[in-house]
Amino acid sequence: MNDFTNLPKLELHLHLEGAAPPAFIRGLAQRKGVDLSGIFDEQGAYKYKGFVDFLRVYEAACTVLTTPQDFHDLTLAVLEQSAAHGVIYSEAFLSPDFCGGGDLLAWRDYMAAIQTAAQTAEAQMGVTLRGCITCIRHFGPEQARIIARCAQETAGDFITGFGIAGDENAGELADFIYSFDAAREAGLGLTAHAGEWRGPDEVRAALKHLRVSRIGHGVRAIDDPALVDHLAETGTVLEVCPGSNVVLGVYPDLRAHPVEKLRAAGVAITVSTDDPPFFHTDMSAEYAGLHRAFGWEQPEFDALAQTGLRAAFCDDSTRARLAKRLEPA
């Protein structure tokens, strides 16, 4: 296989703001008179050094996303890129912190704009979007409670999940139990970024305290064989982002990445881009990299799609419709 563009793909780990094309952010900044030149390199790409600086640049880029219309246009731009690489279903992490500062009334307006764009993209591009509201770990547990209320109040056909992202080294996951319990009561699917920077104990903490069905990244589980066995036995799904992990230095190169060892051990794996323009990737590039590094072919990629289908935070009718699109032509 050489061209992976047209393979139908499901992406479960995509940050909406983090997927903003640099040109889109630069254009907004220019129109609004905001100087963001310090976050771009000479070629116009995002510029940062290491994970903490990545978070700084990410949040700086978000400062020009100030209106529901901005997020409407952002959503269309992101989904256009996804559809161009064969994505038929995407779950985007949406942060009310960046959409009205966690104010519920403001969040409703932002969410409506995102959903309208998603409906347009589905009709015109064939890609379905669902939203996973995400609290920011380094903003603290009290702010997470505010975000969880936004999730509770807007859970439904479009907002289907709840998660936590941000600096994994800030605080402890046990501090966020209240927010996850609130989201669970609202019927939302649950996921948590864990086991990217901290070790396997962080994955265990997400399972124990937050009781999630999916783990964002989770790759450091490989350091604990008993945990790997547990993930395989329970069917816990890992939202693996190989390109992100390599660019940020979690692993030196793709061949050193544990995604193949996790898959071979029976762990349920999906593959995503995380924040694609920050990591110079897209879903076709992710598939091509796995083909080169580990020899993955059609059966492995078909398995990725089926795992994504089972793990998706969507209703049964959406899942059935996507299943038909995954059937061989």
Q: How confident is the model at residue 279 (pLDDT cuts 50, 70, 90)?
A: very high
Domain CATH for 231: 3.20.20.140
CB contact at 8 A, 223 and 200: yes
Give domain status of residue 3, yes or no: no
Amino acid at 300: E
Is the pTM here over 0.75, yes or no?
Answer: yes
- Six token digits for residue 245: 């992990």
Nearest to 172 by CA among 198, 196, 148, 147: 198
Is 172 considered catalytic here?
no
Is it the case that residue 329 has pLDDT exceeding 90? Answer: no
Give domain status of residue 109, yes or no: yes
- Model confidence pLDDT, tens digit, residues 217-245: 999 999 999 999 999 999 999 999 999 99
CB contact at 8 A, 284 and 5: yes
Kindly report the three-state secondary structure assignment for every residue of the chain.
CCCCCCCCEEEEEEECHHHCCHHHHHHHHHHHCCCCHHHECCCCCECCCHHHHHHHHHHHHHCCCCCHHHHHHHHHHHHHHHHHCCEEEEEEEECHHHCCCCCHHHHHHHHHHHHHHHHHHHHHHCCEEEEEEEEEHHHCHHHHHHHHHHHHHHECCCEEEEEEECCCCCCCHHHHHHHHHHHHHCCCEEEEEECCCCCHHHHHHHHHHHCCCEEEECHHHHHCHHHHHHHHHHCCEEEECHHHHHHCCCCCCHHHCCHHHHHHCCCEEEECCECCCCCCCCHHHHHHHHHHHHCCCHHHHHHHHHHHHHHCCCCHHHHHHHHHHHCCC
**Overall average pLDDT of the 122-143 stretch:** 97
Which residues lie closer than 8 Å to 202 by C-beta, 6 or more apart? 168, 173, 194, 195, 220
Q: How confident is the model at residue 2 (pLDDT cuts 50, 70, 90)?
A: confident
Give the whole-number percent of the chain exceeding pLDDT 70.
100
For residue 218, how many C-alpha atoms fall within 13 Å in the half-sphere facing its CB? 33
Other Cβ atoms closer than 10 A to 283: 26
* Residue of 17, 196, 260, 286 marked active site: 196
- Model confidence pLDDT, tens digit, residues 202-218: 999 999 999 999 999 99
Is it the case that residue 1 has pLDDT exceeding 80? Answer: no
- Model confidence pLDDT, tens digit, residues 156-183: 999 999 999 999 999 999 999 999 999 9
C-alpha–C-alpha distance, residues 163 and 134, integer Å: 5
Q: CA 98, 103, 104, 106: dihedral to nearest 10 degrees? A: -70
**Overall average pLDDT of the 190-202 stretch:** 96
Give domain status of residue 2, yes or no: no
**Overall average pLDDT of the 12-33 stretch:** 96
Q: How far is CA 245 from the centre of its chain?
A: 13
Question: Which structural domain, as residue segments, surrounds residue 200?
Answer: 9-324
Give domain status of residue 240, yes or no: yes
Average pLDDT value over all residues in the chain: 96
| Per-residue b or e along 179-198, where b marks 16 or more CB atoms closer than 10 Å to that residue's CB | bbebbbebebbbbbbbbbee
- Model confidence pLDDT, tens digit, residues 74-129: 999 999 999 999 999 999 999 999 998 899 999 999 999 999 999 999 999 999 99
Count of domains for the chain: 1
Is it the case that residue 287 has pLDDT exceeding 80? Answer: yes
Give domain status of residue 48, yes or no: yes
Residues in the chain: 329
Is it the case that residue 3 has pLDDT exceeding 90? Answer: no
